[in-house]
Structure 1
Amino acid sequence: MNAKEAALLLGVHYKTILNMINDGRLAASKNDSGDWVISESDLAAREQEIGDKEFATIYTHMAVQIIEKGHNQAIQAAREELIDVARATIKVKENRNELNQQVIRRMQL
């Protein structure tokens, strides 16, 4: 079978098969037309390894996404809290300035 057929059979990307061939993890040879030819026995020997690695990769990717989502939510919550504190601080300062101006006006009378 060729590399594309092997990828379809294993449910992996075509480039995964090519990478495995190129780094020696999967035995293959080229036919007269230059296509990779993989024996079914060689593919079967690597099927479990590919499945385990793909499974681990998928779950690692999912874990990273969950962590990033949690961090992004925490960052957004902290940002919103800081904005609220800044707004409250500005209001207090404005109120204090207004109060000071009123006191000054009354003292001038």
Structure 2
Amino acid sequence: MSRRVPVSAGKLPQVGDRALVEFEEKSLALFNIDGELFAIDDSCPHQGASLCGGRLEGGVIQCCAHGLRFDLRSGYLLNSTLLKVASYPVEVIDGQAFIVIVSEETAL
């Protein structure tokens, strides 16, 4: 089962920018890359540093703590499949953006 988390209009990042979206006990980083929205967990899987404030280059975010770089499309560490940050699809329906959270049971 999946859940759609609405993103308020005030939280939608402009092109080339990012926003922190919090709901329940999750913090997600939402990025707007050339008009396409990407959402990932805000916590780096290495040691938990915030990714939202990292250096953004195209579709790649660099963790400000240790420099790890993650592809926003896949969530994987750049040039590797050994480390991944959770990523979530973003849907826009009638002008409203939703981050889609897929439950672990559905993902199996």
Same fold (TM > 0.5): no
Q: Please report the TM-score for the alignment, with normalisation by the length of structure 2.
A: 0.25
Structure of greater Rg: 1
Q: Which has the higher contact order (CA 8 A, sep 6+)?
A: 2
Report which of the two has the higher share of helix: 1
More strand by share: 2
